[in-house]
């Protein structure tokens, strides 16, 4: 086993020895510092994220520390050749300890960059969202942010949800650089949403790169450790600072569906949501407190975390035409599910925010399952109704990939 292989394997196993739900990230970092995996002088920002800077660079590398899990619990690894999984009682946490592992190897080998380890990605990009709100810390200082947080082994993401996050030139160039090390990457416009997407209005080139995990957010999650080793080595050879910078973050570009429908056709695109004051941070978690700031179209929310509190009030709401009919009275939304109007109490969940992020994206059924686990509580009847609506919507719009 070579130096890189041993480091990658040992580091990944230690990082995934426990599940680390949101709120346990600091415990992870402290433990890894004691084990010599994280540097002792890693810095914590005012939002709770951790970062480390190597040299001078206009590049940010990103991953997240939290795991999809309801409990902080021990993980039992099962190793089958180059595949690492669990005994089926817990998630593995390859999403996103795989990305963390790659970044630690790059740091060890002194690849210049700002290395950001975000908290709370799995519950709505809490850490990256708050960091991105500090615009002056990033705008004009960085040309690119690369998240290592994508399933499979070959994607350089150009679109997250329904909007472009990096230029095709950047995607092609990064794929080409990685492929010089014998990998098979290509640009992919089917991204869902991760930390780098929070910076699309600030940083020109924002992407997400496959790190070799599969069936994330499930007890069947697995990691191709051989791919992770190859990717980590390839990242040492990429000319990060020479990658093209073409996308203008001040000129958002929404993706039209290949089936002739874009999200804006539903009458409530990104700009409409900003008119309502939602912005990119609206409704990130059902446990985050939101309230009307005065006026029927003046919405806002508090960033503080409040257990068991989830409410919003309004007297007007955006609506979707045709495929989705949504009208609102105070606290009520009606979704047209299979021809029947289903009344959903819109104080329960973040349905408008979910629609704004994911309708129009090239979602697969697997992606929808991730959306469900991240943003819906299936013990709540209204969340189940909304999920069933989304399943039917994706089926009718034929957004899901054939065979899934």
- Rounded to an integer, what distance in angstroms lies between the CA atom of residue 74 and that of residue 262? 44
What is the SS3 assignment for 391? helix
Q: Helix count (H) and strand count (E) of the chain?
A: 10, 18
Going by C-alpha positions, the residue among 62, 71, 91 that lies closest to residue 21 is 71
Angle, helices 351-358/381-397, rounded to nearest 10 degrees: 20
Whether 159 contacts 189, CB under 8 Å: yes
Q: How many Å apart are CA 353 and CA 233, to the nearest integer? A: 38
71, with CB counted inside 10 A (0-12, 13-18, 19+), is exposed
Query: Could you list the pLDDT tens digit for every one of the 404 residues in the chain?
Result: 556 689 999 999 999 999 999 999 999 999 999 999 999 999 999 999 999 999 999 999 999 999 998 899 999 999 999 999 999 999 999 999 999 999 999 999 999 999 999 999 988 889 999 999 999 999 999 999 999 999 999 999 999 877 899 999 999 999 999 999 999 999 998 888 899 999 999 999 999 999 999 988 889 999 999 999 999 999 999 999 999 999 999 988 876 543 333 333 222 232 322 232 222 322 323 222 222 222 222 222 222 222 222 222 222 233 322 233 333 333 344 444 344 444 444 433 457 656 655 555 556 666 677 677 666 778 888 778 888 877 776 666 544 443 33
Task: Give all domains of the chain, ordered by start, each with its CATH number.
Answer: 3-242 (3.40.630.10), 263-397 (no CATH)
Give the 3-state secondary structure of residue 187. Answer: strand
Distance of CA 299 to the CA centre of its chain: 24
Question: d(Cα 17, Cα 10) in Å, to the nearest integer?
Answer: 11
Cα separation, 97 vs 50, whole angstroms: 14
Full-model pTM: 0.70
């Amino acid at each position: 086993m070579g130096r890189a292989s041993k480091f990658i394997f040992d580091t990944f196993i230690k990082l995934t020895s426990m599940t680390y739900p949101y709120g346990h990230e600091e415990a992870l970092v402290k433990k890894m510092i004691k084990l010599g995996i994280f540097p002792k002088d890693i810095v914590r920002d005012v939002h709770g994220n951790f970062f480390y800077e190597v040299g001078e660079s206009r590049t940010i590398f990103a991953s997240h520390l939290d795991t999809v899990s309801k409990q902080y619990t021990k993980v039992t690894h099962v190793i089958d050749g180059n595949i690492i999984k669990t005994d089926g009682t817990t998630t593995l946490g390859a999403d996103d300890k795989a990305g963390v592992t790659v970044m630690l190897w790059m740091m060890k080998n002194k690849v210049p960059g700002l290395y950001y380890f975000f908290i709370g990605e799995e519950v709505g990009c809490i850490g990256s969202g708050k960091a991105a709100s500090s615009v002056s810390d990033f705008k004009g200082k960085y040309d690119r942010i690369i998240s290592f947080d994508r399933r499979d082994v070959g994607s350089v993401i150009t679109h997250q949800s329904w909007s472009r996050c990096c230029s095709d030139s950047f995607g092609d160039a990064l794929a080409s650089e990685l492929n010089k090390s014998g990998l098979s990457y290509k640009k992919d416009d089917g991204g869902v949403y991760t930390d780098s997407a929070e910076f699309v209005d600030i940083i020109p080139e924002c992407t997400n790169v496959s790190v070799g995990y599969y069936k994330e957010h499930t007890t069947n999650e697995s990691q191709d450790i051989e791919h992770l080793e190859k990717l980590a080595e390839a990242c040492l050879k990429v000319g990060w600072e020479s990658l093209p910078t073409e996308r203008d973050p001040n000129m958002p570009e929404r993706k039209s569906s290949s089936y002739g429908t874009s999200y804006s056709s539903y009458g409530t695109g990104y700009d409409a949501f900003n008119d309502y004051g939602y912005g990119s941070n609206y409704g990130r978690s059902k446990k985050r407190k939101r309230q009307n700031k005065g006026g029927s179209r003046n919405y806002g929310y508090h960033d503080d975390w409040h257990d068991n509190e989830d409410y919003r009030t309004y007297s007007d709401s955006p609506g979707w035409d045709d495929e989705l009919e949504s009208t609102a009275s105070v606290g009520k939304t009606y979704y047209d599910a299979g021809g029947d109007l289903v009344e959903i109490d819109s104080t329960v969940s973040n349905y408008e925010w979910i629609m704004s992020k994911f309708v129009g994206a090239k979602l697969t059924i697997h992606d929808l399952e991730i959306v469900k686990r991240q943003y819906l509580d299936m013990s709540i009847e209204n969340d189940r109704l909304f999920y069933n609506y989304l399943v039917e919507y994706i089926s009718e719009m034929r957004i899901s990939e054939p065979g899934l």
